[in-house]
Amino acid sequence: MIWLLCVLIGVLTSASVWLMLSRNLVKFLFGLVLISNVANLVIIVGGGFTPLAPPLIGEAGATLANALPQALVLTAIVIGFGLVAFVLVLAVGTYRVFDTVDMDAIRFAEPVDAPRVVDPEQVEPGVRS
Amino acid sequence: MSWLLVACLMTPLLSAAASFIAPRGGSQRATVATCGTALLVALAAMLLWQVSQQGVISAQMGGWSAPFGISLVADPLAALLLLVSAAVTLAITLFAADDVDAARSDAGFHGFVQVILTGVVGALLTGDVFNLYVWFEVMLIGSFALMTLGADRVQLDGAVKYIALNLVATVLLLTAIGLLHAMAGTLNFADLHRVMIDRPQDGMSRVVATFFLVAFGIKAALFPVFAWLPAAYHTVPITVAALFAALMTKIGVYSLFRVGSLVFSVEMVEMRALLTAVAVATLVVGLAGAIAEHRLRRLLAWHVMVSVGILLLGVALGTELALAAAFLYFVHGMLAKAALFMVIGMAERHGAGEHIREVGGLQRLSPWLAAAFLFSALSLIGLPPTPGFWAKLAFVKAGLDAGSVLLVVAVLLAGLLSFLPLMRLWNEMFWKAAPEPALASQTLAALASAPGATPPGRPMQAVTLPAGMVMGLAGLTLVSVLIGLAPASLYALAADASASVIDPSTYVQAVLGEAGDSAAMPMDGPSDAAPDAMSDAPRAATPDAIREATSDASDTPETSQ
């Protein structure tokens, strides 16, 4: 069971990194949602995955589940949910204001001062050699 | 006196709530926030006094004794930074009361500042690494709200980048905490220190330490994960910029240091070369950005990275004197950065534009503003008699004592090169003649940049600034001047803090000390609840028992397969 979850963590991480490398803000956010769930899975797996064991301190020697990772993940899910809700609204607002979700096209905070690449068509023929 | 810890945490939380429900339209919301912050300053001063008298103070929430429940801990470092953060925020709330427009104020601006302050206090006082994550989230959600409140296009653009990159840091931090818990079986800082110091070092601990380094590195805007800072800090209202520049990145460095010194003390030594390289790179990038920049706010935003780099240099060297110097620099950096952003905000009231060409003649229009700017700028450069000079002096002495030429050269060069951007600001803003309105608007049109805080082409003119703004800036500058003239008492506090983090045994003792020890009691007076509750549990008498129990449990699936 543990190894299955480990493979799942690997697959989800690669998928979310691929999504987050996108210039598209919406794809980036989907990647972020996915990778925050990966973090939750890491906590669960790292804390010890114990099916069918109660999270209580009972008889000596009995198998018991570590309840702490569950509590941590519960907290993380709640916080993550709030952040995701906020960020999705932000994405909608961004689309409404800028009419695009391409992050490279949104340069209002850091405007490009001068054209970096000289267009060869605009250089005079004599100069071009 | 451990009720003080809870009081410090509850004060900004309650004043945030009170500020949200206070009536709109008037100045009530700002007044509530200012009163709350003033109360926090008083409580923080009491806490610092207590800590300097009796050493580390801790409180166990809900009476659950140390490694099981959540601890709040105030060591000399946390108490010192708490007082400075609260004092700087008080100046900023005074400034904000008159600076923030009615729409933002009605949307809850002052409440969100208090939310950020709650996160800062929590992050400083917590004794539990998961709890640290939660307080970071509190800080984050407050800062998201402030970033996007009343957003225009520029601000929204900056906010998207800030929020996206900070959320990546959050995910990394959460993963790091999950792995740390898997490795050590505990989340309490003091307990982690005990466990990790005995644990043989292996690849796992280095991986987890690196996760923490990257996560806090993004929060602190270290090289090479700093890109969000110059994209975002200049877009927000000037009050928010002052607050972020003073608190947010500094808390990132503090957390990096707290986790590094208590949990990864071995790995920290191993990573010293890496940390030094990162610090120097951060310095260089920040300086290069500031020197190349022609917009007032962005220039200061780049310079925030210089402070972070110098702080990290001290942390990387790690000797007692270097840490004392770093803590001194911490205090001075918070005061000076907030003050400089306030000066820019006031210059904009006088008609200054976004670009360096749309400003000038301020020395004649407002000599006191010029004096305040000059003092804080010289402090960042490090000339006597400013607090920055004493911090740099301590850095140089620490570097010479430890034989680290790199630290001495880096700190001195950073001061020298800071001269260029900051004195250019001084020349352009204060000494240069005021620009012609026509020229100013022409420049703005030529740049085709988004509109700044003031309409283009407005002439520079003397205006009477609101009292709150003046009080905020004057207060900060006055504190800076006092520290500059009499640095000995602050240095004593910084040295005290440094001694306490070099040897964390008192910290561990105060948190994990035997039940019945007055330092470990949740409240003043007799409290039998905690020991009794624990002795009812059949096993779990010690943290090790729990750890064994849980590690047995986590081994079970592997063996059963």
| B245: phi then psi, degrees, rounded to nearest 5 | -65, -35
In a domain, A117, yes or no: no
pTM across the whole model: 0.85
d(CA B463, CA B471) in angstroms, rounded, equals 16
Strand ranges inside B464-521, DSSP E: none
d(CA A55, CA A62) in angstroms, rounded, equals 11
In a domain, A62, yes or no: no
| Residues forming a β-bridge with B59 | B72
Q: Quick one: pLDDT band at residue B525, thresholds 50, 70, 90?
A: very low
In a domain, A23, yes or no: yes
Closest approach of chain B CAs to the CA of A54, in angstroms?
11
B471-520 pLDDT tens trace: 999 999 999 999 999 888 899 999 988 988 888 888 888 888 754 343 33
d(CA B82, CA B46) in angstroms, rounded, equals 11
d(CA B355, CA B452) in angstroms, rounded, equals 9
* Whether B553 and A69 lie within 8 Å, measured CB to CB: no
Choose, out of B172, B181, B293, the residue to mutate when testing the contact with A (most A CBs < 10 Å).
Answer: B181
In a domain, A55, yes or no: no
CB contact at 8 A, B423 and B377: yes
* Whether A32 and B144 lie within 8 Å, measured CB to CB: no
Q: Which residues of B touch A82 (CB under 8 A)?
A: 141
Mean pLDDT (whole number) for B415-444: 78
A35-79 pLDDT tens trace: 999 999 999 888 877 777 776 666 666 777 778 888 899 999 999
CB contact at 8 A, B347 and B296: yes
CB contact at 8 A, B342 and B434: no
In a domain, B460, yes or no: yes
Question: What is the CATH classification number for the domain harbouring A78?
Answer: 1.10.287.3510
CB contact at 8 A, A64 and A54: yes
Rg (CA), chain A: 24
3-state secondary structure B218-246: HHHCCCCCCCHHHHHCCCCCHHHHHHHHH
Number of compact structural domains in chain A: 1
Residues 120-149 on B with a CB inside 8 Å of A are: 130, 133-134, 137, 140-141, 144, 148
> What's the Cα-to-Cα distance from A13 to each of A87, B471, B558, rounded to whole Å?
20, 51, 24
Residue B231 has its nearest CB partner, among A49, A79, A109, at A109
d(CA B524, CA B518) in angstroms, rounded, equals 8
Residue A94 has its nearest CB partner, among B134, B160, B552, at B160
Closest approach of chain A CAs to the CA of B119, in angstroms?
14
For B435, the domain range is 313-503
Residue A64 has its nearest CB partner, among B140, B178, B549, at B549
| Residue B204 forms contact with A (CB below 8 Å) | no
| Residue B387 forms contact with A (CB below 8 Å) | no
Residue B158 has its nearest CB partner, among A29, A42, A109, at A109
Please state the ipTM of this predicted complex: 0.85
- In one-letter notation, the amino acid at residue B180 is L
> What's the Cα-to-Cα distance from B219 to each of B80, B107, B248, rounded to whole Å?
21, 26, 8
Q: Quick one: pLDDT band at residue B90, thresholds 50, 70, 90?
A: very high
| Six-digit token string for A116 | 């970096």
In a domain, B388, yes or no: yes
Please tell me which residue of chain A has the smallest CA distance to B168: A32
| Residue B448 forms contact with A (CB below 8 Å) | yes
In a domain, B432, yes or no: yes
B130-178 pLDDT tens trace: 999 999 999 999 999 988 887 678 888 888 888 988 999 999 999 999 9
In a domain, A39, yes or no: yes
Number of compact structural domains in chain B: 1
For A20, the domain range is 2-50+67-110
In a domain, B487, yes or no: yes
* Whether A83 and B537 lie within 8 Å, measured CB to CB: no
In a domain, A120, yes or no: no
- Of residues B248, B258, B197, the one with CA closest to residue B73: B258
d(CA B156, CA A98) in angstroms, rounded, equals 9
In a domain, A121, yes or no: no
Closest approach of chain A CAs to the CA of B305, in angstroms?
17
In a domain, A127, yes or no: no
In a domain, B455, yes or no: yes
CB atoms within 10 A of CB B228: 21
* Whether A98 and B179 lie within 8 Å, measured CB to CB: no
In a domain, B322, yes or no: yes
